[in-house]
Amino acid sequence: MNIKLLAISVVVIIAAHLLAQDTTNNDAAYADDFSKQNIWSNWKSKSSAGEFLFNKNEGHDGKGAMEIAIGKDCPADASFCFVKYFPAVSGKTYNAIVWVKAEGVTPSCEIALAFQGKDANKIFLGTPVISSMILGSVIGEGWQRRVLTFTVPGDGAWSRTGFLLCTLGISKASQGKVYFDDFSFFQNK
């Protein structure tokens, strides 16, 4: 009987300790070289025609990259993006870095690394999209480094931030391919 009481007491003490910890200061860094099949989710606009792929032959610094391949019957207003959630807190500054390469895209397409605010339940906060965008006419050949640094505001809807939804995508695109590689996300110290 005493052993059961002791075991229950230990479990309660550990649970209380875990609940009392500050989980709002998530300093964890994330990095992915996409050398293996990615674990990002994806989204595309309703009328979009294309695929989200893992390309084992492409890569910025080694083999492996995420790829968006736009289909031949894709309308000019199509949007595609890979998506991933990262814990975030208002008042903190976050950085995302990704390498991007495009082939055969329309000059007016927009390739972007972007953040959107979500609450602790991953519900959109109605905040504006914050992005680092490059036009298809500017991206050129080869790999381009994109950086997005953002301090989550401490007021308005942003004050309820629990997550940043990070998107790697292309919009206003009717042809071509875009690759994403060597992604990292981290909080400033």
Least confident of 12-21, 90-99, 116-125, 147-156: 12-21
pLDDT at 21 over 80: no
Where residue 128 falls among pLDDT bands split at 50, 70, 90?
A: very high
Quote the pLDDT of residue 97. Answer: 97
| Segment 79-104 mean pLDDT | 96
Quote the pLDDT of residue 9. Answer: 43
pLDDT at 104 over 90: yes
Where residue 8 falls among pLDDT bands split at 50, 70, 90?
A: very low
Please give the C-alpha separations between residue 43 and each of 13, 37, 62, 106, in angstroms, as whole numbers. 43, 17, 26, 20
Largest Cα separation within the chain, whole Å, is 75
pTM of the entire predicted model = 0.83
CA 28 to chain centre: 14
Quote the pLDDT of residue 137. Answer: 93
pLDDT at 125 over 80: yes
pLDDT at 46 over 60: yes
The 10s digit of each residue's pLDDT in 22-32 is 334 445 699 99
How far is the C-alpha of 168 from the C-alpha of 102, rounded, in Å?
Answer: 13
Query: Which CATH code of 3.30.70.260, 3.40.1180.10, 3.40.50.720, 2.60.120.200 fits the domain covering 24-187?
Result: 2.60.120.200
| Segment 163-175 mean pLDDT | 95
Contact of 90 with 152, CB cutoff 8 Å = yes
Structural domain boundaries in the chain: 24-187
The 10s digit of each residue's pLDDT in 54-80 is 999 999 988 999 999 999 889 999 999
